[in-house]
Amino acid sequence: MSAMSDYLELKFLDHFTGTASTSAPSAVYLGLSTASLNDDASGTELTGNNYTRKAITFASASSGSIASNSAVEFDSATGSWGTVSHWGIWDASSSGNLLFHGAFTASKSIATGDILKVASGSLTISAD
């Protein structure tokens, strides 16, 4: 299950009503968390231990959803990241605005030396 952030909901409304000119970000980035991120972008994204957001790409939307179309591999953890259970899609590689967020179907404990890989097609954003 995925959700739009408050930021993206406002940008969407502005764009489609012509209130403000908005453009899509040039790239989007996958961020990780050990707990749920919220629509207002509150929550705690991972930090430290060689963690950085990674660029992610998506196929064209179909049947109310859009899926990642390439694998995303994070760098080897230099310390524990904890149990990664949630994700966020951001408009920048650091800072920036949260666009979408959701939970992975299974959580994964990441220890020193582990590399987290998100397989192509395994991250889906749905619109209802």
pLDDT, average across residues 100-122: 97
* pLDDT for the residue numbered 3: 87
CA 42 to chain centre: 14
* DSSP 8-state code for residue 63: T
Compute the mean pLDDT over every residue in the chain, rounded to the nearest whole number: 94
- C-alpha 54/C-alpha 9 separation (Å) is 23
Tell me the per-residue pLDDT of 29-88, one tens digit each, with 9 for 90 and over.
999 999 999 999 999 999 999 999 999 999 999 998 999 999 999 999 999 999 999 999
* pLDDT for the residue numbered 105: 94
pLDDT, average across residues 1-28: 86
Residue type, 69: N
pTM for this predicted structure: 0.92
